[in-house]
Amino acid sequence: MKKFIPIVIGEPNSINAEIIFKSLNKLNKTIKNKILLIGSYKLLTAQLKLIKKKINLNNLSDISCFKRNNKINILNIPIKFINPYKTSIEETRKYIFNSLFVAHNLSIQKKIDGFINCPIDKKVFNKQIGVTEFLSKLNKSLGSEVMMIYNEKFSVVPITTHIDVKKISQSLSQNIILDKMRTLNLAYKKIFKKYPIIKILGLNPHNAELRKNSEELNIILPVIDKLKKEKIKISGPFSADEVFLNTFKKNEVIVGMYHDQVLAPFKALNRFNAINITLGLKYLRISPDHGTGTKIIFKNQANPESLLKAINCFNKFK
């Protein structure tokens, strides 16, 4: 089986064409020859023309037609468009779903080892979910999946992901945290060949001083005790306002109770030097750790660092 580095082009109304072009220009020939773009040939060509960039492409109707001829292979996913950067929400949704379904099915069929997807606007999903939850549902692992933002220095994981703040407390339970920590422990070891060192945060300021009826006392501490008995390297709960001041150990993962509790400080410290990895799927899924960048289309300001890290990580571990 050929070793591919598949990249779902993702959101049409975005900087994705620019970061793909810039990333390809920084890759060596060996890695470039493994790249398999999944998306619309016509759309990508039109977008590249508008931003005055060019990629020589092999337009494929099937993955079996993959060629190694110094061109970048693209498995064509059709989309109707008039303006390459203003596709309708209906066409965008259909196109993105088709692209993800193709990548998912190829992964399940073992024709590829997983994939990278470029940023996608969450509005295409109609609900407060993202690609993490969408793919987890396809993998029948929704609820135990883990969204990990990875960096060589340290990583972060939120227990709840794309939900409103007012719903966080009622969404937490011992079983949810147990399932996600077990997924984190095993999947991290599978990818990185080391078990993670997990530091788990409390939900409330100062861990609610471990007051009676607090989430820390009734949910988080009992989970830590159970996981320690399973020989999982976990400690806490730590206060969120102090844990990011520490020096991090290699393979350390900070686990927070909600999205911004860990992602906001992580991004402040690392900016584009990170990638998003979904743990708990039947294959490897990675994405750049940033959004669609609609405000900087045509400005040649898009930073390809996160996509480059995703490509190099996928190449290293697959």
- 196 and 309 share a domain? no
- 173 and 216 share a domain? yes
What confidence category does residue 16 fall into, taking pLDDT thresholds of 50, 70 and 90?
very high
- 125 and 154 share a domain? no
pLDDT tens string 265-294: 999 999 889 999 999 999 999 999 999 999
What confidence category does residue 68 fall into, taking pLDDT thresholds of 50, 70 and 90?
confident
Give the residue numbers spanning the domain of 233: 148-275
pLDDT tens string 159-208: 999 889 999 999 999 999 999 999 999 999 999 999 999 999 999 999 88
- 251 and 152 share a domain? yes
Instruction: Supply the CATH number for residue 255's domain.
Output: 3.40.718.10
- 227 and 128 share a domain? no
- 222 and 287 share a domain? no
- 132 and 167 share a domain? no
Report the number of distinct structural domains present in the chain. 2
Instruction: Please give the pLDDT value at position 1.
Output: 40
Whether the predicted pLDDT of 318 surpasses 80: no
- 294 and 246 share a domain? no
- 208 and 293 share a domain? no
* Average pLDDT of span 138-159: 93
- 235 and 212 share a domain? yes
What confidence category does residue 65 fall into, taking pLDDT thresholds of 50, 70 and 90?
very high
Quote the CA–CA distance of 212 and 246 in Å, as a whole number: 29
- 247 and 289 share a domain? no
- 246 and 295 share a domain? no
Instruction: Please give the pLDDT value at position 50.
Output: 96
Whether the predicted pLDDT of 99 surpasses 70: yes
Instruction: Please give the pLDDT value at position 247.
Output: 82
Instruction: Please give the pLDDT value at position 261.
Output: 97
pLDDT tens string 20-59: 999 999 999 999 999 999 999 999 999 999 999 999 999 9
Q: What is the 3-state secondary structure (H, E, C) of the chain?
A: CCCCEEEECCCCCCCHHHHHHHHHHHCCHHHHCCEEEEECHHHHHHHHHHCCCCCCEEEECCHHHCCCCCCEEEEECCCCCCCCCCCCHHHHHHHHHHHHHHHHHHHHCCCCCEEEECCCCHHHHCCCCCHHHHHHHHCCCCCCCEEEEECCCCEEEECCCCCCHHHHHHHCCHHHHHHHHHHHHHHHHHHHCCCCEEEEECCCHHHHHHCCCCHHHHHHHHHHHHHHHCCCCEEEEECHHHHCCCCCCCCEEEEECCHHHHHHHHHHHHCCCCEEEEECCCCEEEEECCCCCHHHCCCCCCCCHHHHHHHHHHHHHC
Residue for token pair 């997807």 = 117
pLDDT tens string 229-273: 999 999 999 999 999 988 898 899 999 999 999 999 999 999 889
pLDDT tens string 101-134: 999 999 999 999 999 999 999 889 877 678 998 9
- Can you give the pTM of this predicted structure? 0.93
